[in-house]
Amino acid sequence: MQSAENKIGRRNFIKSIATVSAAAAVASRSGLAAGVIGERKIKLGLDNFSVRALKWKADALIDYAAALKTDSLFITDLDAFENFEEKYLAGLRQKAADKDLQIHLGTWSICPTSKAFRNKWGTAEEHLALTIRVAKALGSPIARVILGTQEDRKAPGGIEARIEDTVKILKSQRSRVMDAGIKVAVENHAGDMQARELVHLIEAAGKEYVGVNLDSGNAVWTIEDPIASLEILGPYTATTSLRDSAVWESAKGATVQWTAMGEGTVDLNAYFKKFAELCPGIPVHIETISGFNREFPYLQPSFWELFPKMPVSDFARFVALAKKGKPRDTWHAPEGKPREQAELEYQKSEIEKSIRYCKEVLGLGLKPV
């Protein structure tokens, strides 16, 4: 439970909304103009969660990424592997190298007190140790992990307690990570941590071996402007899982729909101009998760129990983004087509047009279109 002094009272809440609205109007009027679009020399990759409905294993994912002419493949879950034997992993590494693909590896929650944690891979320490070993065998420069979801902000002790527990797990494997010559990349995931909170986690654990898996879509789930999130997390970023987002004002605050690249509200040209400055050498992995709406009722004072310490200036930038957007319908399977088949086709369509947009419009990727 948040203490009384941490909650935004009715008077302060109304005052904050008025301040934010004024600041948002200024921010909206003075937004960054799009720069010149050209070749950016930034690696472009596929996050396998984009085609999760296909349930492909690593071998098929490598073939698919190569067919899309990406430079990198982010395999973000351990279930994509047939086994964890060194010979098998070495074979995948070689296959990827033969297709001029770099592999990045990830897994899920390593916070033992998160509602998202599962003991499928043993204890949190064992889970992280396994991920580090697999990452090294595959030649991945990172081992991506998550803390949890927005539900963890409501748990006893709030997100601060979950951050502390995650830091303990990370520190328990520090020497293993350093010996492997990689970094653990912690994602801002499903509304669990705002950018400043994730920086606190990294600094507490040790930035020499812990960095960020930057997720631009998840930023809007913590009512942050993706460009503002990038400005904070960019210097710590070790890998990415990026998507576009549509954001618009709605009855209770703002509504968000994740979209294919180029179909949202975010100024992607400004985003990648800043990305090139802050994240040199880091690949852009596209993780499309499209078609559904989620409302964030920030006009209701009780909402702020989730984010009691958010600076008004950060919130103003999110409101400015929402003021640019227009409502979107949710995706529905075409009439007469089985939902499962339609979902497979929709996921492939979203990632394939996103990769094309990144190459042809944003100038991302090292391989020709």
Determine the Cα–Cα distance for residues 259 and 217; give it in Å rounded to an integer: 9
Determine the Cα–Cα distance for residues 52 and 84; give it in Å rounded to an integer: 20
Please give the structure tokens belonging to residue 285. Answer: 């992995």
Instruction: Please report the pLDDT score of residue 181 as a whole number.
Output: 98
Please give the structure tokens belonging to residue 259. Answer: 């979209």
**Max alpha carbon distance in the chain (Å)?**
64
Please give the structure tokens belonging to residue 347. Answer: 């996921």
Instruction: Please report the pLDDT score of residue 368 as a whole number.
Output: 87
Write the single-letter amino acid at 5. E
Contact 226, 216 (CB under 8 A): yes
Determine the Cα–Cα distance for residues 117 and 103; give it in Å rounded to an integer: 25
Instruction: Please report the pLDDT score of residue 17 as a whole number.
Output: 52
For residue range 83-128, list pLDDT tens digits in order.
999 999 999 999 999 999 999 999 999 999 999 999 999 999 999 9
Contact 194, 224 (CB under 8 A): yes
Instruction: Please report the pLDDT score of residue 281 as a whole number.
Output: 97
Map tokens 């580090």 to a residue. Answer: 132
The list of the chain residues with pLDDT below 50 reads 1-11, 13-14, 18, 23, 25-37
DSSP 8-state assignment for residue 32: P
Q: Which domains does the chain have, with CATH numbers?
A: 4-19+36-360 (3.20.20.150)
For residue range 193-246, list pLDDT tens digits in order.
999 999 999 999 999 999 999 999 999 999 999 999 999 999 999 999 999 999
Helix, strand, or coil (residue 294): strand
DSSP string for 163-182:
HHHHHHHHHHTHHHHHHHT-
Instruction: Please report the pLDDT score of residue 12 as a whole number.
Output: 52
**Chain-centre distance for alpha carbon 16:** 28
